[in-house]
Amino acid sequence: MKTRIFVFAAMGVLSTAISQPAFSAAASSEHPVMVNIKRMSFDTALKIGKAAIEKCRKDGVQVTVTVVDRGGHPQVILRDTLSMDISISISQKKAYTAMEFNAPTSELVNRFPGAYSVPKLDELLMSAGGIPINVGGNIIGGIGVSGAPSGVTDEACAQAGLAAVRDDLEMQ
């Protein structure tokens, strides 16, 4: 019986000694309890989408534009009148892929060769037309465009969308 009491007492002292540094570290200024994360506003995402659509219209094509937030969730999806329905999911995948890899999707086309490589995941699409949205070196979203005859045109429209808000984003 005395042995059991001693073992329990030793375990209690040991657990206190082990847990004490963890709790004090969590409360220190080196490891904040909360972090501030910048997010793109709806109005900014909408402005990006509209500018991309307008650029593609000037080029004589109708497309779908998706703007995703930093978590890859669609914030704005705009489909022009004659843009094909399938362009909705393609633009989403392009935007998501650009955001996740923090790179234009045109740069990812040949990056992962092989039958069972990363691009085989359903959410990813390694095809030109997606670009990341960066502010001060931080990824805050992605833009995906689909529906033009080539990915080069899709990507040019995405770039036009980003250009419409670049100055506003950099001022933040």
User: Which band of pLDDT confidence, cut at 50, 70 and 90, is reported for residue 10?
Assistant: very low
The average pLDDT across 123-129 equals: 90
Closest CA to 140 of 65, 44, 61: 44
pLDDT 10s digits, 35-51:
888 889 999 999 999 99
Asked if 152 and 121 sit in the same domain, the reply is yes
In this prediction, residues 1-22 reach a mean pLDDT of 49
User: For residue 117, what pLDDT is reported?
Assistant: 65
* pLDDT classification of 13: cutoffs 50, 70, 90: very low
Are 146 and 129 contacting, i.e. CB atoms less than 8 angstroms apart?
A: yes
- Measure CA of the first residue to CA of the last residue in the chain; give whole Å: 67
Q: Give per-residue pLDDT as tens, 69-119.
A: 999 999 999 999 999 999 999 999 999 999 999 999 999 888 877 666 666
At residue 171, does pLDDT exceed 80?
no
Q: Are residues 7 and 81 in the same domain?
A: no
Question: Residue 14: is its pLDDT beyond 60?
Answer: no
**What pLDDT is recorded for position 41?**
94
Helix (H, G, I), strand (E, B) or coil at 130: strand
Residue 80 sits in the same domain as residue 8: no
Coil vs helix vs strand at 77: strand
Candidates 59, 32, 22; CA nearest to 156 is 59
What b/e sequence results for 52-64 when a residue is b if at least 16 CB atoms lie within 10 Å of its CB, and e otherwise?
Answer: bbebbeeeebbbb
Residue 160 near residue 48, CB atoms below 8 Å: no
**Do residues 157 and 131 make contact, with C-beta atoms less than 8 angstroms apart?**
no
The count of domains in the chain is 2
Asked if 91 and 19 sit in the same domain, the reply is: no
3-class secondary structure, 87: helix
Q: Is the pLDDT of residue 7 over 50?
A: no
Q: CATH number for the domain including 116?
A: 3.30.450.150
Residues 125 and 110 in one domain: yes
pLDDT for the residue 6: 46
Round to whole Å and give the CA distance between 64 and 94. 11
Q: Quick count: other Cβ atoms within 10 Å of Cβ 32? A: 10
Q: Are 101 and 131 part of one and the same domain?
A: yes
Q: Is the pLDDT of residue 160 over 90?
A: yes
Residue 54, pLDDT above cutoff 70: yes
Whole domain around residue 126: which residue ranges? 42-170
Phi first, then psi, for residue 77 (nearest 5°) are: -130, 120
